[in-house]
Copies of this chain bind each other. A is one copy, B any other.
């Protein structure tokens, strides 16, 4: 009998976060984490950038999500975010090559949109 207790790993490799699926609470796949934004000094992840990996439609738009809005679901092997696809569509986003500055105003705008305290 296999009695070893499975302790989920506490840490995840950055290049495993990249490409991980993001789901809404109903289990619908919203997209993937393309990359995440880290505070250079503190090492704190502040945004996960949601993308759709496609060439058409939303494919070239990127949606920074507050890192705190994501919950890692070990069973699903992906992140769950408590927002709907419709909410994402109206969320702050940018096109490839037009990355935001991620200054305080932008923080307030994005965190405010998702109702998360920065």
Contact = CB atoms under 8 A, between A and B. Distances in A.
A44 B41 contact: no
Number of copies: 2
A17 B38 contact: yes
B102 A40 contact: no
A13 B36 contact: yes
B18 A37 contact: no
A115 B93 CA distance: 42
A11 B35 contact: no
A17 B40 CA distance: 9
B41 A13 contact: no
A47 B13 CA distance: 9
A41 B44 CA distance: 11
15 contacts: A11-B37, A11-B38, A11-B46, A11-B47, A11-B102, A13-B35, A14-B15, A14-B35, A14-B36, A14-B38, A15-B18, A40-B72, A41-B72, A43-B44, A43-B68
